[in-house]
Amino acid sequence: MAHIEINHDACTRCEVCLSVCPFGAMEMVNGNVMVNDQCRLCRICIDNCPVEAISMVESELEQSVNKEEYKGFTVIAEVENGVLHPVTLELIGKSNELCDSTSVIVVGYNLEDIVSQLCQYKVDKILVSDQKEAEYFDSQLYTYLIGNWIEYLKPSTVLVGATRMGRSLGPRLAARFETGLTADCTILDVRENGDLIQIRPAFGGNVMAQIVTLNHRPQFATVRPKMFSTPEKSYEGSEIERRKYPISDVSVFFDKVEPIPSVKDLSEAKRLVVLGLGAQNPVVIGLATQLADRIGASLAYTRPMIEKGYSDVHGQIGLSGRAVQPELMITIGVSGAIQFVTGIGQSERIIAINSDANAPIFGVSHVGIVGRAEDILPELLKQGGIL
Ligand SMILES: Cc1cc2nc3c(=O)[nH]c(=O)nc-3n(C[C@H](O)[C@H](O)[C@H](O)COP(=O)(O)OP(=O)(O)OC[C@H]3O[C@@H](n4cnc5c(N)ncnc54)[C@H](O)[C@@H]3O)c2cc1C
Ligand code: SF4
Ligand code: SF4
C-alpha cells in the first residue's frame, strides 16, 4: 500500500499542502506537517508543494500467488427460472475481446437448454454443475459450487453480471479466494501481463477510477447489464465438462421460490424517450408522451426528474439508475452529465434535443437538434422523418 511521506528537513512550513488537500488529510502537529488517515492518495499536495518536500512511497507487496498459473477469463452464467440472463452473453463477448480463452461456469438444474445456447457462442469450455439442490439461487450454495470450479480452473479473471444474483455472489467468491473485486465496472481492458484494468466511475462520477488487482488472482469484476454488446453467434465447438459436487457441508437449501412479479425493466426497452429538467413544461411532457406512443417507446427520466416525482426509481437512467442499450433513444432537455451518460453507452442511435448548443449530450448523440423542445417536438410529430 502506498503512503504520503513528508521530508521535514526540506519543508518550509508554508502550509500550502494544508490548504490544497481536498480531504483535510494534512495537519500541523507540533510544528510539523503530518498526514492523517483521511488521505486518499490523490497526489494534489505533491503537485503543489513549492519545495518538493512531499512524495508518494510505494511499499513492496508480497505477491500472494504465482500469476502465471492463472490463465484465461471465466464468465459466471446467470440462469433464472430456466432463462439465461443476457448479461452472460455480453460478458462472453467482452471476454473474447480481451483474451484468447473464455470459459463459462453454469450451475443450476435442468441446464441442457442453457448449455446448448452457450454452445452457440465462442466459448472454449463450459463447466456445468446440473443438480437438483442448485435449482434456486442460494448465495452460500452457489459460492461453494462455483468456487470449486474456479479452484479447479484457475482463471486469471472472473466476470460476473452486476445483477441481484451477481452482486450477492461476486463478493462472496472474491472473499473465498482472498482477492479483489471491482463492482459495477463500465470499461474493462487488460495489460500484457494479464492484469485486468477495471474502470468505473468514482467520487460521485466525477472521476473514472482505474482499479488493478496487482498481487492476487483471480481478479473479480462485476459489470452491469447492457454495458457491453451481445456478441454474434459463432459456433466453434465448446468442450463441456460436468460435475456434481457433494453438498453435505452446505446448510441452506431452498425447496421452492415464489417469483416476485417483475417490474417492466427499462434496460430491456428497444426505444426510449428520456426527459430531463429541460422538459418539465407540461406541454413538452404531453408532446413527449405522444411521441413515445407514436414510436412505441417507453418514457424514462434523468435523476433530478425522479427526485421531482415524475416517476419512481425504476424510470431512472444513469449511474445510480438503469443502464440501457436501446435501438433508439430520444433525449429531451437532458444536459448529458457524466452520471447520466454512463448509463447509455451502448445505445445504437441517440437523438438529442436541447436548447443549448454546447450541452454535453451532443458529444454522445448521433443526431443533435438545437432548439426548444416545445418548438421541435411538434415538428417531429408532424414529420416523423428522422425516426
Ligand atoms: C453520485 C451521483 C449519481 C448520479 N446519478 C445520476 C443518474 O443515475 N442519472 C442522472 O440522470 N443523473 C444522475 N446524477 C445527477 C447528474 O449529475 C446531473 O445532475 C443530472 O443528470 C442532470 O439532469 P438533467 O440533464 O435532467 O438536468 P440539467 O443538467 O439541468 O439539464 C437540463 C438541460 O435541459 C436543457 N433545456 C432547458 N430548457 C430546454 C428547452 N425548453 N428545450 C430543450 N432543452 C432545454 C438545458 O440546456 C440543459 O442542458 C447523479 C449525480 C451524482 C452526484
Ligand atoms: S495525497 Fe491528496 S489526500 Fe493525501 S494528503 Fe495529499 S492532497 Fe491530501
Ligand atoms: S507545501 Fe511543502 S513546504 Fe509547504 S508545508 Fe506542505 S510540505 Fe511543507
Examine residue 7 and state whether it is found in any structural domain, yes or no.
Answer: yes
Kindly state whether residues 20 and 100 are assigned to the same domain.
Answer: no
- What is the DSSP track for 187-222? EEEE-TTS-EEEEEEETTTTEEEEE---S-SSEEEE
Kindly state whether residues 100 and 176 are assigned to the same domain.
Answer: yes
Q: For 84-97, what is each residue's pLDDT tens digit?
A: 999 999 999 999 99
Q: How many CA atoms lie within 13 A of 355 on its CB side?
A: 10
Q: How many CA atoms lie within 13 A of 178 on its CB side?
A: 4
How far is the C-alpha of 188 from the C-alpha of 379, rounded, in Å? 41
Interface predicted TM-score (ipTM) of this complex, two decimals? 0.80
Q: For 225-262, what is each residue's pLDDT tens digit?
A: 888 999 999 877 899 999 998 877 655 555 566 665 55
How far is the C-alpha of 133 from the C-alpha of 88, rounded, in Å? 22
pLDDT of residue 40: 86
Q: Which domain holds residue 21?
A: 3-57
> How large is the greatest C-alpha to C-alpha distance in the chain, in angstroms?
75
Q: How far is the CA of 273 from the centre of ligand 1 (A)?
A: 15
Whose Cα sits closest to atom 6 in ligand 2? Answer: 45
CATH code for the domain of 181: 3.40.50.620
How far is the C-alpha of 211 from the C-alpha of 197, rounded, in Å? 6
Q: What are the beta bridge partners of residue 201?
A: 208
pLDDT of residue 256: 61
Indicate the helix (H) or strand (E) that contains 341: helix 338-341
pLDDT of residue 97: 96
Beta-strand pair 54-57/125-130: unpaired
pLDDT of residue 361: 96
Q: Which of 339, 346, 11 is nearest to 204 (CA)?
A: 339
Domain tally, the chain: 3
Question: Which atom of ligand 1 is closest in space to residue 204's alpha carbon?
Answer: 1
CATH code for the domain of 18: 3.30.70.20
Q: Which of 303, 332, 369, 375 to mutate to test the pocket of ligand 1 (most atoms within 8 A of CB)?
A: 303
